[in-house]
Amino acid sequence: MIIERKSPLYDGKSKTIFETNQSELVIQYFKDDATAFNAQKKGTIVNKGLLNNLTSSQIFEFLAKNQIPSHFVKKLSEREMLVKKLTIIPVEIVVRNRAAGSICKRLGLEKGKAFSHPIVETFFKNDSLGDPLISEEHIFHFGWATPAELKEMKASALKVNHILKPVFESIGLELIDFKLEFGKTKDGFVLLADEITLDGCRLWDKATGESMDKDRFRHDLGRVDEAYQEVTHRLTQFFSRSL
């Protein structure tokens, strides 16, 4: 089947979604654009699009082998990923192994505090409201997901954590937290969607404690491009041995 890229369906902050000649498939095009703090900070990270496409493609393939299906169909080119077209559920699922970022501010926690078991939080995916933290009551009341769908999303997110923590561990990184998105197929199946990249994860170097993720961009820590390259390189080596 030859896939032809058609018109853009949605132009996001770091990716553009294109229609294709197959109505049920879309292309995610990964850009170098980076934003932080609800898009108040904007910039570019050299080759981020290419590196994120590679990272995400490899992770989705690895998850599929570990019984976590996603929208991923195949990597089409350096910056293009073919995925199943979904209706995105407007609930971001965040899994946290240690305290960092917004939970520290919200709950007055010390950065780096380890949790006895992973904590799952839900946020409303809405840029104009700054993606607020929401409860199950909100999700069910406003019909963003049903109880069964939310249960599936949370269970899947915890499985992803369980599978990816040791992967990062084996390449010298600790998975601190990450954000996932899910969507629904026309038939109503819930699938893991979007991307799993350094843009949506916190990874700390086990040897130095240094951030090796988008926090380098958020907080002007320097060597941003290098961190994306280094983590992608380590992951690619890991997956070349195990995929």
CB of 172 to ligand ADP, least distance (A): 27
- Verify binding: residue 80, ligand ADP, rule CB under 6 A: no
10 binds, among ligand UDP, ligand ADP, none (CB under 5 to 8 A by kind): ligand ADP
- Verify binding: residue 189, ligand ADP, rule CB under 6 A: no
CB of 85 to ligand ADP, least distance (A): 5
Q: Which of 30, 43, 8 is nearest to 218 (CA)?
A: 43
CB of 166 to ligand ADP, least distance (A): 26
CB of 199 to ligand UDP, least distance (A): 6
CB of 234 to ligand ADP, least distance (A): 23
CB of 155 to ligand ADP, least distance (A): 20
The 7-26 site mask, x for binding ligand ADP (CB under 6 A), equals: ---x-xxxx-x--------x
Nearer to ligand ADP, 32 or 174 (CB): 32
Task: Please select the residue that binds ligand ADP; options are 34, 193, 201, 227, rule is CB under 6 A.
Answer: 193
- Verify binding: residue 181, ligand ADP, rule CB under 6 A: yes
Nearer to ligand ADP, 29 or 204 (CB): 29
Residues in contact with ligand UDP by CB under 6 A are: 94, 100-103, 131, 177-179, 199-202, 214
Whole-Å CA distances, 170 to 36, 69, 167, 173: 29, 23, 5, 7
**Which DSSP string do the residues of the chain spell out, in sequence order?**
----EEEEEEE-SSEEEEEESSTTEEEEEEPSEEEETTTTEEEE-TTHHHHHHHHHHHHHHHHHHTT--BSEEEE-SSSEEEEE--EE-SEEEEEEEE--THHHHHHTPPTTPEEEEEEEEEEE--GGGT--EE-HHHHHHTTSS-HHHHHHHHHHHHHHHHHHHHHHHHTTEEEEEEEEEEEE-TT--EEEES--STTSEEEEETTT--B-STHHHHTT-S-HHHHHHHHHHHHHHHHHHH-
- Token pair, residue 196, equals 């799993």
202 binds, among ligand UDP, ligand ADP, none (CB under 5 to 8 A by kind): ligand UDP
Which residues here bind ligand ADP, judged by CB under 6 A? 10, 12-15, 17, 26, 71, 83-86, 88, 181, 183, 193-194
